[in-house]
């Protein structure tokens, strides 16, 4: 089976995509909070960090260049490039030449990438809901 570029897939409605974007932004905000406290290297999840960035760019109808993805990730440039190669080999993203700047290569989310992000984000939300439901009422308000 060949993954279609995400532009060709109408699987997700705008409301569902917006909800997933909100979840992804919460995950990224937590990442930013962690890296503001701990030294670099404690929470390296290169492929996941980059995939989330590509996903949020897609959800905002924007493209993310390889250099922007490497710069925006919390991992070294070498690790970011290895992570991008792995994401591409696994069929979650593909590279595409920028039409306005031939020197620039963009990362495009595939349908498989979108599906896996959606499932992972929904599972994270479900896990948070289960944890919250087990908390005594006073702790929920914090």
List domains and CATH numbers for the chain: 13-132 (1.10.10.10)
Q: What pLDDT digit, counting tens, does each position of 130-142 carry?
A: 777 777 776 555 5
Residue 41 and residue 107: Cα distance in Å, rounded? 24
Task: Give the neighbor-by-neighbor strand order of the sheet with 93-97.
Answer: 64-65, 105-109, 93-97
Residue 92's CB is within 10 A of a number of other CB atoms, namely: 25
Which has the minimum average pLDDT: 1-15, 62-76, 91-105?
A: 1-15
> CA 36 to CA 125: how far, in whole Å?
23
Rounded to two decimals, the pTM is 0.76
pLDDT, one tens digit per residue, over 71-127 is: 888 788 898 999 999 999 999 999 999 999 989 999 999 999 999 999 999 998 888
């Amino acid at each position: 089976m060949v993954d279609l570029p995400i532009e060709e897939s109408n699987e997700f409605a705008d409301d569902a995509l917006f909800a997933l974007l909100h979840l992804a932004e919460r995950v990224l905000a937590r990442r930013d909070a962690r890296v503001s406290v701990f030294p670099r290297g404690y929470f390296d999840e290169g492929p996941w960090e980059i995939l989330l960035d590509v996903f949020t760019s897609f959800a905002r109808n924007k493209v993310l260049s390889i250099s922007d993805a490497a710069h925006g990730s919390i991992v070294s440039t070498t690790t970011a490039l290895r992570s991008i190669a792995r994401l591409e080999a696994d069929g979650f993203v593909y590279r595409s030449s920028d039409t306005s700047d031939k020197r620039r290569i963009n990362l495009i989310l595939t349908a498989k990438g979108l599906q896996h992000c959606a499932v992972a984000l929904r599972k994270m939300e479900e896990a948070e809901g289960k944890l919250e439901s087990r908390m005594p009422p006073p702790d929920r308000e914090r």
